[in-house]
Amino acid sequence: MSKSRCFRKLSFTALFLLLLGFNTSIAQTSSDELSLMAIFAHPDDEMTIAPILSKYVNEGVKVYLVVCTDGRYGTNDFTDHEAGEGLVAIRKEEMQCAAEKLGVELIHLDYHDQLRAGEGYDGHVPHARQLIIDLEGIVADKNPDVLITWGPDGGSTHMDHRLVGASVTQVFLSQIWDKTKKLYYVGTPSHLIDEPERKKLAGIDSTYLNVGIKYSDKDAEKAMQSLKCHKSQVSPGMIQWREESSKKSNNTIFLREFAVPKKTKKSVFN
């Protein structure tokens, strides 16, 4: 191979990785050195970005999926499951099934749904504080290049979603990490939401969503197979909604990169 052809090939690879959201210093390394950690609240929350988890696994990226809660309160109108330890056991198995379908390494924590919010300050706050400590330990141990989690909207304004997103943000901001340099929030562009109320509650203006990651129909199908593992949670209507959402977004997952200030300022107005 000529030097010019070799240079063009390397340049294309670096540009490709850069467009996927990795910085130029990371793009210099081989794909098997790259790692991504997605952190969400409940078993089945990973459906939000499942197609790109599959995508990156197929590209040789090491993908970790951290699920924080046990799913004990995930009752619904289309199953007869009751809240409690029985449902916890079911959802753990479902989550393992989904992780295997996607090819990700699962880290499933044992925090109660709603982070013990029903127990008031003394029950909830120590629980929520411990979550931050545990997440910090996981990030320090696995040392991923990239973190992906919920933004302030939490996707559905669910309090667990929002708290987990805020906890991951605190872990990221608490220090300058040696390797973990990127934090992204998953979001839905406002123009893709039809319902006026949901647009206000969960929509993100597309100008803030500075990363759009395309995925293949094959990745979409793998994500759908993983979603079907969550039998206690997924109705036929939800499957149809996910399929329609993929088409509506043109097989794209939208993310907002956490922007790190480049310099300090002495005024909030400039």
Whole-number pLDDT of residue 113 = 94
Residue 153 clears pLDDT 60, i.e. is over it: yes
In angstroms, rounded to a whole number, what is the distance separating the alpha carbons of residues 95 and 101? 10
Among the listed residues 11, 223, 185, 199, the one whose alpha carbon sits nearest the alpha carbon of residue 98: 223
Q: Which residue has the higher pLDDT, 30 or 261?
A: 261
Binned at pLDDT 50, 70 and 90, residue 260 comes out as confident
pLDDT value of position 67: 98
* CB contact at 8 A, 13 and 60: no
Q: Do the beta carbons of residue 73 and residue 43 sit within 8 Å? A: no
Q: Domain segments of the chain: what residues? A: 30-257
Flag whether pLDDT at 32 surpasses 80.
Answer: no
Say which residue, 21 or 135, is predicted with more confidence: 135
pLDDT surpasses 70 at 13: no
Q: Which residue, among 205, 113, 81, 89, has the nearest Cα to 153 in the 3D structure?
A: 205
Asked if the model's pLDDT at residue 43 lies above 70, the reply is yes
pLDDT band of residue 26 (cuts 50, 70, 90) is: very low
User: 30-257: which CATH topology?
Assistant: Rossmann fold (3.40.50)
Across the range 233-251, mean pLDDT stands at 93
Q: What does the pLDDT read at residue 7?
A: 41
Q: What is the per-residue pLDDT across 54-95, written as a single tens digit (0 to 9) for each?
A: 999 999 999 999 999 999 999 999 999 999 999 999 999 999
Per-residue model confidence (pLDDT) at position 27: 41
Instruction: Tokens for 161, please give them.
Output: 């979603």
Q: How large is the average pLDDT for residues 152-164?
A: 96
pLDDT-derived band at 1 (thresholds 50, 70, 90) equals: low
| Stronger pLDDT, 31 or 252, i.e. the higher one | 252
The three state secondary structure string of 91-105 is HHHHHHHHHHHHCCE
Percent of the chain with pLDDT over 70: 88
Say what percent of the chain tops pLDDT 90: 83
Spacing of C-alpha 84 from chain mean position? 26
pLDDT at position 110 over 80: yes
